[in-house]
Amino acid sequence: MNKNIVLIGFMGSGKSMIARQLGQRLKVEVVATDRLVEAKEGQAIDEIFKSKGEAYFRNLERDIIKDVSLRRGIVIDCGGGVVCVKENLQNLKTNGIVFYLQATPEVIYQRIKHESHRPLLKVSDPLGHIKELYQQRLPLYNQADYVIDANDASIEGPVVEIMRHLG
Measured from the CB atom, the residue of 36 and 159 that comes closer to ligand S3P is 36
Helix ranges (H only) for 27-148 are 33-41, 45-52, 54-68, 86-94, 105-112, 126-141
Q: Under rule CB under 6 A, which residues in 101-160 are in contact with ligand S3P?
A: 118-120
11 binds ligand S3P (CB under 6 A): yes
Binding track over 27-66 against ligand S3P, x by CB under 6 A: -------x----------x---------------------
| Binding residue (CB under 6 A) for ligand S3P from 14, 79, 96, 158 | 79
Measured from the CB atom, the residue of 120 and 127 that comes closer to ligand S3P is 120
**CA distances to 2, 8, 128, 148 from 164, in Å:** 16, 18, 35, 11
Longest Cα separation, the chain: 45
Q: Rounded to whole angstroms, how far apart are CA atoms 163 and 165?
A: 5
Q: Which residue type does 28 have?
A: V
CB of 151 to ligand S3P, least distance (A): 16
For binding to ligand S3P (CB under 6 A), which residues are involved? 11, 15, 34, 45, 79-81, 118-120
